[in-house]
Amino acid sequence: MKNILVTGGAGFIGSNFINYILEKNPDYNIVNIDKLTYAGNLENLIPSQDKKNYKFIHGDITNSDLINYLFEKYELEYVINFAAESHVDRSILSSKEFVTTNVSGTNTLLDVARKFNVKKFIQISTDEVYGSLGKEGFFTEDTPLSPNSPYSSSKASADMLAIANYHTYGLPVVITRCSNNYGPYQFPEKLIPLMIINALHDKELPVYGDGKNVRDWIYVTDHCRAIELVFEKGENGGVYNIGTSTEMENIEIVKLILDYLKKSESLIEYVQDRLGHDRRYAIDSSKIKTTLGWSPKNSFEDAIIKTIDWYINNKDWWNRIISGEYMEYYQKLYNN
């Protein structure tokens, strides 16, 4: 049995990862610590919640005493750190929580992990730490970090602390940097679920700037499979980029969603651009493909339809979300 501390496992990617890994690996013991911020939702974990090798802890990764206690009590040997404030627009409104959780929280986890001699510490990072690309080129693992938003700056800081722990103390850290994910349980503030839900309500779809910013999209399960491989075989001190070379302009995705839902393009509303909006992200993932044998299994064409259908079939899930705090935030963002 492997005793693994997963952080932020009630969020979008963390919950998909836990559901995926426990289905596949009955010999993993998962302890999931999550603060249950606005983005955390225990409903995402219904497929795992009754498993004997799954335990949920409501807590904060900045709480050093709690993390120490969990390491002792559950004899933890591995950490996979998903916990983060993850939305760029929120980081533009206020960066405080981003520094607290993403930087200080990661530092706390690294300190405790070192004390307990963990066998592997996976830091779930993002391609956004590399900054923005022009029309040409790709991010490789050697691209210098050049984050532009408070969110990506906080993630880059966490990466540097993780690397410092490897170089200074020999902590077996591995970093993954993935591109934009989509799929079930994504909080409806991110582009794809927001546009699906607005379209279903015949509400305007707010497209920032000219709508031609480019992201490299990956279906969440393909990301989970990549993390699994990095966890099992990743080289300590290494960085692994994860992406599918599915570059899409935002406006293409919005039109595709409208087309599938048989809604009019007149719902599209071009709104003021995001401050400091990164133009293009594109990932070179040849390292994880050649060294760990990873490749994505889902094509964008199929997985985006699967995702839209999931939101159509899970209205209760997102109705509960959008009737609460999220709406206040949404109104604040667009009334500013």
Q: What is the set of active-site residues?
A: 127-128, 151
Amino acid identity of 46? I
Closest CA to 270 of 332, 222, 207: 207
Span 127-146, contacts to ligand NAD by CB under 6 A = none
As measured in angstroms, the least distance from the Cβ of 320 to ligand NAD is 15
Between residues 33 and 178, which has the closer beta carbon with respect to ligand TYD?
178
202-210, 223-231, 232-240, 257-265 -> range binding ligand TYD (CB under 6 A): 202-210
Using CA atoms, how far apart are residues 161 and 88, in angstroms rounded to an integer? 21
Considering only residues 59 through 98, tell me which ones interact with ligand TYD, judged by CB under 6 A: 88
Tell me which DSSP letter residue 166 carries: H
Residues 6+ apart with CB under 8 A from 22: 28, 30, 47, 48, 51, 53, 54
**Alpha-carbon gap, residue 125 to 216, rounded angstroms:** 15
Residue 181 touching ligand NAD (CB under 6 A): yes
Site mask for ligand NAD (CB under 6 A), range 189-228, x = bound: ----------------------------------------
Q: Does 191 bind ligand TYD (CB under 6 A)?
A: yes
CA 269 from centroid of its chain's CA atoms: 27
Among positions 123, 125, 213, 244, the unique one binding ligand TYD when judged by CB under 6 A: 213
Rounded to 5 degrees, φ, ψ at 127 are -65, -15
Q: Considering the rule CB under 6 A, would residue 280 count as an interface residue with ligand TYD?
A: no
H or E segment and range at residue 251: helix 250-260
Who's near 335: CB < 8 A, 6+ residues apart? Answer: none
Q: Which entry of ligand NAD, ligand TYD, none binds 184, CB below 5 to 8 A by partner kind?
A: none
CA-to-CA distance for 258 and 260, rounded, in angstroms? Answer: 6
* Residue placing its CB nearer to ligand TYD in the complex, 24 or 201: 201
Q: Which H or E element spans position 174? A: strand 173-178
Could you tell me whether strands 78-81 and 54-58 are parallel, antiparallel, or unpaired per DSSP bridges?
Answer: unpaired
The answer to whether residue 207 forms part of the interface with ligand TYD (CB under 6 A) is: yes
Nearest alpha-carbon partner for 84 in 67, 100, 102:
102
By the rule CB under 6 A, 165 interacts with ligand TYD: no
CA distance 330 to 271: 14
Asked if 35 touches ligand NAD (CB under 6 A), the answer is: yes
Is residue 177 within the footprint of ligand TYD (CB under 6 A)?
no
Neighbours of 182 (CB within 10 A): 25
Per CB under 6 A, 12 contacts ligand NAD: yes
Report what 206 binds from ligand TYD, ligand NAD, none; CB cut-off 5-8 Å by kind.
Answer: ligand TYD
Query: Shortest gap between Cβ of 220 and ligand NAD (angstroms)?
Result: 8
Shorter beta-carbon distance to ligand NAD: residue 111 or 204: 111
- Alpha-carbon span 281 to 246, nearest angstrom: 10
The binding site for ligand NAD (CB under 6 A) comprises 7-8, 10-14, 33-37, 39-40, 60-62, 82-86, 101, 105, 124, 126, 155, 178, 180-181, 187
The binding site for ligand TYD (CB under 6 A) comprises 88, 180, 190-191, 194, 206-208, 213, 215, 250, 274
